[in-house]
Chains A and B, each alone.
Chain A
Amino acid sequence: MSARRLGRPEVLLPTAAAGLTVTAFALLPAYTDAGLSSFDVYNTFQIFARLGLLALALGLTMIAGEFDLSVVGTYALGGMLTVQAGQEHYAYGLLAAVAAGAAIGLVQGGLIAGLKLPSMPVTLATYIALLGLTSALSGGLTKTYSNAAVTLWVDRTVLTYFSPRSLITLGLFVLAAVVLSLTRWGRELRAIGGDRRASRVAGVRVDRLLVGTFVASGVLSALGGSLLSFSLGSANPDPGVQPLIVAAAAALLGGVSLTGGRGNPLGLLGGIMAVALLTEIVTVAALPAYVTQLFFAGLLGIIVVIDAPDLHSALVRQRTRLRAGTSRPSPAGAQPGSQT
């Protein structure tokens, strides 16, 4: 039973990814001349804090069978609003970012659930519009945040390895995990991602749940942007496509499937930690930065090929043909195959 549970992709992938990278990280001194210090662990969590909420936001919509490309737009807007509205008090900035994130999620979720639009073109359009809005708000310039006390506070060392920023991010992952495993939302989220029509027939309030998921995604990405702005002491109107791509890689490593219906927040945590560790390993080992990209490319390539349905069915066909060839005399031989 436990072996079978471990074999499921939503458990196997993040466990393997996190396990491999932790091992590679711990063995770093063995194959490079760089020693490891507690600062490296702290730094890993800082990288995690930078992209964690983005991966969580994207991952939640992917579990529901949607794909929210707009997360990076909301991330940029959240960061910019935090800086521009939060000059007097950080809470105003935070509030503005969260409200904007929720409003964006509400509009997108409403369109996608209400009109049954596919999420990819809608969120792509929103992504472009949000980047434009952020750029218009800032005049295309990077804005600095003058409240240095906040900047110092979010990144100060807590318990040797953490900062308030990484602890907040971790806390939100735990919160998402607890909410999704203790309430029926977790099951319903996977249900609407797996088979939307069946879950609607079974009584899941699909539309409401979809809107909720997009609101959660908007709020989480806006918060991620806020925390980044506090930490950098500035906001950049265009974060580029890199954060989106890294967040998608983290979500896929976290055992979420692009077809939906699979995954959980703890898996996502494993996925993004693997990404953060990998980035830190490359930094500590002083490898050129593009090595990380090649590594992610290889990893994603393997995931996507393993996941490919036609390849899978071709392999199954091949296997059943072989088995049918060897055990044609006894019809019972086909039985075990058809049961699994």
Chain B
Amino acid sequence: MNALSTPARLDAPASPRGRQRSRADVVINVIVVLAVLAAIVVGLSTHRFATVANAKAIITSASLVGIAALGLTLITIGGSAVSLAIAPTVAAVGMMFLSAQSLGLVPALAIALLCGVVITGVQGAVVGYAAANPVVLTIAASFAITGLAIGISGGASVAPTGSGYDHLNATPGGVALSVYVLIVLAVAVEWTLRRTGFGRSLYLIGANRPAARVAGLPVGRTTAVAWLGAGALFAVTAAFTAAFNTSANVNLGGTLTFDAIAAVLAGGTSIAGGRGSALRTLAGAVLIAGVSDILLLRGYSTGVQIMVKGLIVLFVVVIVHLRTKGSRA
């Protein structure tokens, strides 16, 4: 990343056009710094924001969206834009997880993972091998998953058939288990992306699919594997969400699809693919949770919280776009 942008910076002052670019870069950087400072000032001046209890609340609320967003990060970096089937997948897997509780926690988790991997992996195979449009495909998949889930469950809520799921609601050291899982998974995904051949090919495929194909990379297989990983991460989110709610129906996913996309975009990952990281997504999820928390503490309504979330995503998308354009020129 650094190696790529340094030469551009070096010859930038050579031409007046380049100087203009770098001045625009400075303006963008100043805006970003000011925005961060403003957020910190508002945060610190908010009553009860800078407390340990509140930090725990923020990271707990970021954890469920964060795990799903890590999965989406794999999809986005690989150049398949986004999946619009996250919430239905989570709902279906969550229902499966709770109804398999009578087998015990570990088999139920295994079943949930398998379901998530199969549901999402099939979509990934179609996207990877046939280059099908991921947005339309996942719209179709969301219909299919919700339809099947309603058909099988009869539209009713699924109650847990055992109590093993309650271990997922544990709070070791006063912090929800999902937070530890989020951090471990973020590090694992980041390591996979940076240090394995799979991760590097994924970046290349996302940046330029035809070139990756010509270079002989296994485009179809890599994309499919990325979606398989995403499916596993969606399944983890599903298990935690279902355990937290202690019942699951087709609406279990709620607004998770858009929350996950917002976390990925707010982290600065480009929707075009080839850029981004798991740690950025983690930062995006925490950023959105933190700002929502400030607004909540200051007594703003849910509507205002959602609106500000949208505006943050818009701001980051514009800034990231301007910066990447600047460093490319």
A310 to B81 alpha-carbon distance, docked (Å):
17
Q: Which stretch, B57-65, B139-147, B188-196, touches the partner chain A?
A: B139-147
Q: Are A128 and B309 touching (Cβ within 8 A)?
A: yes
| A31 at the B interface (CB under 8 A) | no
| B214 at the A interface (CB under 8 A) | no
A96 to B301 alpha-carbon distance, docked (Å):
23
A7 to B261 alpha-carbon distance, docked (Å):
37
User: Contact residue range for chain A?
Assistant: 35 or more
A258 to B134 alpha-carbon distance, docked (Å):
10
- Tell me whether A307 and B313 are in contact in the complex, defined as CB-CB below 8 angstroms, given that A135-B306, A136-B304, A297-B144 are known contacts: no
B237 to chain A, nearest CB (A): 18
Those of B281-329 within 8 Å (CB) of chain A: 301-311, 313-314, 317-318, 321-322, 325
A309 to B314 alpha-carbon distance, docked (Å):
31
A128 to B147 alpha-carbon distance, docked (Å):
25
| A129 at the B interface (CB under 8 A) | yes
- Tell me whether A297 and B140 are in contact in the complex, defined as CB-CB below 8 angstroms, given that A111-B318, A125-B317, A310-B131 are known contacts: yes
Interface flags, A224-250, vs B, CB<8A=1, else 0: 000000000000010001000100110
* Number of interchain pairs (Cβ within 8 Å): 171
A67 to B141 alpha-carbon distance, docked (Å):
19
Q: Are B131 and A294 touching (Cβ within 8 A)?
A: no
- Tell me whether A135 and B265 are in contact in the complex, defined as CB-CB below 8 angstroms, given that A125-B317, A258-B135 are known contacts: no
Q: Are B126 and A308 touching (Cβ within 8 A)?
A: yes
A133 to B309 alpha-carbon distance, docked (Å):
11
| A120 at the B interface (CB under 8 A) | yes
Q: Are B309 and A132 touching (Cβ within 8 A)?
A: yes
| A91 at the B interface (CB under 8 A) | no
| A179 at the B interface (CB under 8 A) | no
Residues of B within 8 A of A137 (CB): 303
| A122 at the B interface (CB under 8 A) | yes
| B12 at the A interface (CB under 8 A) | no
| B130 at the A interface (CB under 8 A) | yes
- Tell me whether A135 and B147 are in contact in the complex, defined as CB-CB below 8 angstroms, given that A248-B139, A308-B132, A311-B130 are known contacts: no
Q: Are B147 and A121 touching (Cβ within 8 A)?
A: no
A124 to B135 alpha-carbon distance, docked (Å):
13
Q: Are B131 and A311 touching (Cβ within 8 A)?
A: yes
- Tell me whether A118 and B271 are in contact in the complex, defined as CB-CB below 8 angstroms, given that A127-B258, A304-B137, A311-B131 are known contacts: yes
Q: Are A129 and B133 touching (Cβ within 8 A)?
A: no
- Tell me whether A304 and B140 are in contact in the complex, defined as CB-CB below 8 angstroms, given that A115-B318, A125-B310 are known contacts: yes
Residues of B within 8 A of A301 (CB): 137, 140, 144
Q: Are A290 and B146 touching (Cβ within 8 A)?
A: yes
| B177 at the A interface (CB under 8 A) | no
Complex: chain B residue closest to A138, CB-CB: B303
- Tell me whether A132 and B310 are in contact in the complex, defined as CB-CB below 8 angstroms, given that A115-B321, A122-B317, A305-B132 are known contacts: yes
Residues of A within 8 A of B150 (CB): 288-290, 293
Q: Are A294 and B314 touching (Cβ within 8 A)?
A: no
A116 to B272 alpha-carbon distance, docked (Å):
13
Residue of A128, A137, A310 with most chain B CB atoms under a 10 A cut-off? A128
Residues of B within 8 A of A29 (CB): none
- Tell me whether A248 and B136 are in contact in the complex, defined as CB-CB below 8 angstroms, given that A117-B318, A121-B265, A132-B308 are known contacts: yes
B276 to chain A, nearest CB (A): 12
B263 to chain A, nearest CB (A): 12
Residues of A within 8 A of B258 (CB): 124, 127-128, 241
Q: Are A294 and B148 touching (Cβ within 8 A)?
A: yes
Q: Are A297 and B143 touching (Cβ within 8 A)?
A: yes
- Tell me whether A300 and B136 are in contact in the complex, defined as CB-CB below 8 angstroms, given that A140-B301, A308-B131 are known contacts: yes
Q: Are A293 and B144 touching (Cβ within 8 A)?
A: yes
Residues of A within 8 A of B144 (CB): 293-294, 297-298, 301
Residues of A within 8 A of B147 (CB): 290-294, 297
A140 to B137 alpha-carbon distance, docked (Å):
32
| A134 at the B interface (CB under 8 A) | yes
Residues of B within 8 A of A127 (CB): 258, 310
Q: Are A124 and B313 touching (Cβ within 8 A)?
A: yes
A301 to B138 alpha-carbon distance, docked (Å):
9
Complex: chain A residue closest to B272, CB-CB: A118
Contact of A135 among B129, B142, B146, B302 (CB under 8 A): B302
| B7 at the A interface (CB under 8 A) | no
Q: Are B301 and A304 touching (Cβ within 8 A)?
A: no
A309 to B209 alpha-carbon distance, docked (Å):
12
Q: Are A128 and B310 touching (Cβ within 8 A)?
A: yes
Those of A82-139 within 8 Å (CB) of chain B: 111, 115-118, 120-122, 124-139
Residue of A117, A126, A134, A139 with most chain B CB atoms under a 10 A cut-off? A117
A292 to B319 alpha-carbon distance, docked (Å):
41
Q: Are B321 and A117 touching (Cβ within 8 A)?
A: yes
Residues of A within 8 A of B301 (CB): 135-136, 139-140
Complex: chain B residue closest to A311, CB-CB: B130
Residue of A129, A134, A245 with most chain B CB atoms under a 10 A cut-off? A129
| B262 at the A interface (CB under 8 A) | yes
Residues of A within 8 A of B148 (CB): 290, 294
| A215 at the B interface (CB under 8 A) | no
Q: Are A126 and B314 touching (Cβ within 8 A)?
A: yes
Residues of A within 8 A of B322 (CB): 115
A280 to B170 alpha-carbon distance, docked (Å):
48
A-B interface, 4 closest residue pairs, ranked by CB to CB distance from nearest: A129-B310, A132-B307, A136-B303, A132-B306
Of the A-B pairs whose beta carbons lie under 8 Å apart in the complex, a sample of 21, sorted by A's number, is A67-B135, A117-B321, A121-B265, A121-B317, A122-B318, A124-B265, A125-B265, A127-B310, A128-B309, A128-B310, A132-B305, A135-B306, A139-B303, A140-B301, A241-B87, A245-B139, A293-B144, A293-B147, A298-B144, A300-B143, A304-B126
